[in-house]
Structure 1
Amino acid sequence: MAAEQGRPRVLYWTEVFLPYVGGTEVVGAQLIEGLKQRGYDLVIATSHGHLDLPDEGLHDGIPVYRFPFRTAAASRDVGVFADVRRRVAELKRSFAPDLVHVHAVGPSLLFHLRSIAAHPAPWLFTPHTPLTDRLPGQDTILGEAFRSTDWTVCVSEAQRESIRPLSPEASARSSVIYWGLEEPTLSPAPLPFEEPRLLCLGRLVPDKGLDVALAAFPNLVERFPRLRLTVIGEGPSRPELERQAASLGVREAVDFLGRVPEVHSHLNAATLILMPSRWEETFGLVALEAALMGRPVVATRLGALPEVVLHERTGLLVPSEDSAALAEAASSLLNHPEKAIEMGRAARQRALERFTLDRCVDDYDALYRRLLARRMSG
C-alpha cells in the first residue's frame, strides 16, 4: 500500500463504519473528512458487522478494510483467529501508520492489541461507550487497552469521570474532545404549537427509554388533544413499543417511521425532542442535532446529557424512569411557547459556538500532532 509522501499516516480503527448509521459512524465520517482536508493520509479498519459488505472498499477516496472481528473472536478455531490477526498485521505493516486511532471496545479492539507488534506506533483510544459497568482489571482487554494506549480521548466530562476510579493511570493520560457536527443546510423553522409534535429519535432498544416516553404520552394528549409523537429509528423493541402505544389508547397519535434517509426535516417539524434515556449517554448526539435545528430537548439527567442540554437554558432535565416528570416538563414547554422558543434559540447558539465539526477536527488535529511530535522526539 503506497502512502502519500510527507503526509502523516493515520489508521482510523472503528468497530463498525458506514453504511451503518449511528452516532459514532456519522460523526466519525465527518471527522475523517475533516482530517483528510487537514492533510492526513487515512486508512479505515473496521468490521463487516452483520451486513454482507466487501472486504475492501473506498469511502470518499479513503481505503476501507473490513475484517470478521466478531466471528473470529467468538470462534473456537485458533486458525480462524490467527488468520484475521495475520491480515490485520499485514495491513499495519503495509500502511505503516504514524498513529493509530481506535474507536472501539468490542472485538476489533482485541485484534488491534494483538497486532501492535506488527508495526509499533503511538495510539489513542476513544471508547465512546459508558464504562461504569466495565472493570478494566489486569486480565481484561479493556484494562490492557488503558495500560498500553498513549492517550485516551473521552467524548464528555461524564465519561472521563467514569474512567478515574476504574483506571487512574488512563485518567492521567486523557482529555475531553466533544463531538461536533456540521451546521445543517436546512434553516430552523418556527416551533409548531397549533399542531404540536414530539419527536423521539434513536435505536429502538430498552436503553433509550422510549417506553417511558410512551407512558407519558396519554397524559400529554389529554392536555393537548392535537399533539402527535413521531418515533424515528429501528430496533428489536419496536413491536413491543407499538403494542404499548395501542394498549395505552394512543396508537393513532404515534407515528413509527423506522429509519429515514435524513433527520433534519423531521427535527424541523417537531416542537420538542424527548430523550428519556435510561442509559448513561457518553455524549447525546440527538440533543446536539436538535440544538442545531433550534429545538429544545427534554432529557433524563444521566451521563453526559447535562453537558449538552443545559437545564432551564437549552432544555429541561428530568429523572430517569419518571414518565410523570417527563410529561410535566414537556407540558410546561408546550404551555409556554415563548420559553420553548428561547430555549431553542439558546441551544442553537451554544451548539454553533461549542459543538462544531471544525472545533472537533481542530482538537483532534492538535492532539495528533502532539503525539506525532512526541514520537519524533523520542
Structure 2
Amino acid sequence: MARTPPRVCLLHDGPRLGGVATIVQELHDGLHDAGWAVDTAPPHPHAWRTARHADVLLAAHSFGPAYAAWALGRALGKPWVVWVHGPLQEVLNEARSAPAKRAWLRWLYRQVPQFVFISRHARTSLEGFLGQPLPDARAHVIPNALRLPRAPLRTAPTASGTVELGYVGRLSPEKQPERLIAMLRLLPPRYRLSLVGDGPLRAALEQQAADLVHTERLAFCGARPRATALAPDWHLTLLASRYEGGCPLSAIESAAAGIPFVAPPLPALRETVPACLLAPGDSPAQLAAAVQQVLALPSLQIQRALDSLLARHAVPRFTDQWQQVLREAAAC
C-alpha cells in the first residue's frame, strides 16, 4: 500500500512573474499531480495557521521565506527545508549587503536542517559564505525543470539572409545586456538583436544604441509573458549574465522551442550546458565569435546538445528528487 505523502507548507513571498516564481509553481504543480497536499502561505505571522497543519515547511527561497521557516519551525516543532536559487556570495556582493545582514544570514543558515540547491555551484557559493562545507545529508542538488512542449529544431539562417538573435531577461546590471549590444556591433550588418525585457538600464541602453535602433539592427521589445517571449523567427538566443545560480529558465525554454543558444562559461552553466553552446569567455568579442560558431554547427550536433540539456532538466527527475527530499525531511 502506497504511503500517504507528507503535507507541505510552501512559504513564498515572490512576485507572480520571474524565474523563481515560475519554478516554484512548477514544483507546486508537480507535487500536486503526484498526490501531495501543498498549502501556500506568505511568510508573515499569520502563516502559522497554515503551517501548523503541515508535516514539513518549505521556504521557496533563502531570504524572507527562510526567516519565516526558521521561526515557524522552532515555534511549531516542524522540520523545514530551504530552497537556494542563486550563488549567495555573488548575490550579496551585487546587493552590497551590510555586515549585519551577512552575520545574521551566517547564523541562520547554520541552523537550516536541509538545503536544496539548483546547482553544485550554488551549494559551493553558500559553503564559501559560511566558511565551511555542508554535510551531504543537509545539502541536495536538484536542477530546475519546466514542463514544455518540444518543437523541432529551427531552420538555420541562409548564407545571405538576416540572422535574428534574441535575449529574454531583465535589463539590469547583473544580466549585462550592454555586452550583447557591444557584441552586435562586432557582427556583420545582417545580424539583428531583439531584447525582450525591461529594467533599470533600458533608458541608458536605448540612448547608447540609438544608431542600431535607427538602422533596425536592434529592437527593445519590452517585457512579454513567458509563453510568448521567444519569437518564432529567432535563430539563436543569448545570455550574458555576470553570474547564474543554475541553468536559466530562458535557456531551457529556448532548447524546448528548438532554438540553440549561446552563453558565457559560468560555473553553474558548465554543469548541464553542452560545451558547444558555451562561449570561451564573456567579452563581446568572445560572444560574437561563439554566435557565428554555433550557427555554423551541423544541425544534428545542435539537436543532440539541446536534447542533452533537456534530459538533465527533465520534469520527472525534478519531481521525484523533490519528493524524496521532502519525505526524508518530514521523517526527521
TM-score by length of 1: 0.76
> CA, structure 1 residues 316+340, in 2 after alignment: closer, same or farther (shift >3 Å)?
farther
- 8 Å CA contact 1:267–1:290 kept in 2: the answer is no
Query: What amino acid is the match of 1:324?
Result: A
- 8 Å CA contact 1:291–1:344 kept in 2: the answer is no
The CA deviation string for residues 112-136 of structure 1, in whole angstroms up to 9 with x for no partner, is 3233333221111112121124599
Structure 1 segment 35-54 matched on structure 2, within 5 A: 35-46=31-42
Partner of 1:127: 84
Q: Aligned to 2:143, which of 170, 175, 178?
A: 178
More moved, 349-358 vs 205-214: 349-358
- Name stretches of at least 5 consecutive residues in structure 2 with no aligned partner: none
Tell me the SS of whatever aligns to 2:267. Answer: coil
More moved, 357-366 vs 260-269: 260-269
Shift of 1:307: 2.0
Structure 2: how far apart are the matches of 1:251 and 1:107? 45
- 8 Å CA contact 2:24–2:60 kept in 1: the answer is no
- 8 Å CA contact 2:11–2:40 kept in 1: the answer is yes
Instruction: Name the count of aligned residue pairs.
Output: 320
Query: What amino acid is the match of 1:293?
Result: A
Query: What amino acid is the match of 1:150?
Result: P
Structure 2: how far apart are the matches of 1:234 and 1:340? 34
Query: What amino acid is the match of 2:64?
Result: P
Query: What amino acid is the match of 1:92?
Result: A
Partner of 2:170: 203
Matched, 1:117 2:78: no
Shift of 1:327: 1.2
Instruction: For CA contacts below 8 A with separation 6 or more, give which structure has more relative contact order.
Output: 2
Structure 1: how far apart are the matches of 2:323 and 2:73? 23
> CA, structure 1 residues 188+330, in 2 after alignment: closer, same or farther (shift >3 Å)?
closer
Structure 2: how far apart are the matches of 1:300 and 1:110? 33
Partner of 2:63: 106
Q: Percent same amino acid at aligned positions?
A: 27
Partner of 1:370: 328
Structure 1 segment 252-271 matched on structure 2, within 5 A: 252-263=216-227, 266=230, 268-271=232-235
Query: What amino acid is the match of 1:152?
Result: F
Shift of 1:264: 5.8
Partner of 2:11: 13
Q: Aligned to 1:97, which of 32, 39, 54?
A: 54
Query: What amino acid is the match of 2:38?
Result: L
> CA, structure 1 residues 8+270, in 2 after alignment: closer, same or farther (shift >3 Å)?
same
- 8 Å CA contact 1:159–1:303 kept in 2: the answer is no
Q: Say what the alpha-carbon RMSD is for the aligned residues.
A: 2.7
Matched, 1:31 2:37: no
Structure 2: how far apart are the matches of 1:16 and 1:217? 34
Shift of 1:286: 1.7
Tell me the SS of whatever aligns to 1:180. Answer: coil
Shift of 1:244: 2.0
- 8 Å CA contact 1:183–1:352 kept in 2: the answer is no
- 8 Å CA contact 1:163–1:171 kept in 2: the answer is no
Shift of 1:344: 2.9
Structure 2: how far apart are the matches of 1:240 and 1:180? 34
TM-score by length of 2: 0.86
Tell me the SS of whatever aligns to 2:322. Answer: helix
Query: What amino acid is the match of 1:12?
Result: L
Structure 2: how far apart are the matches of 1:132 and 1:371? 26
Matched, 1:353 2:311: yes
> CA, structure 1 residues 92+266, in 2 after alignment: closer, same or farther (shift >3 Å)?
closer
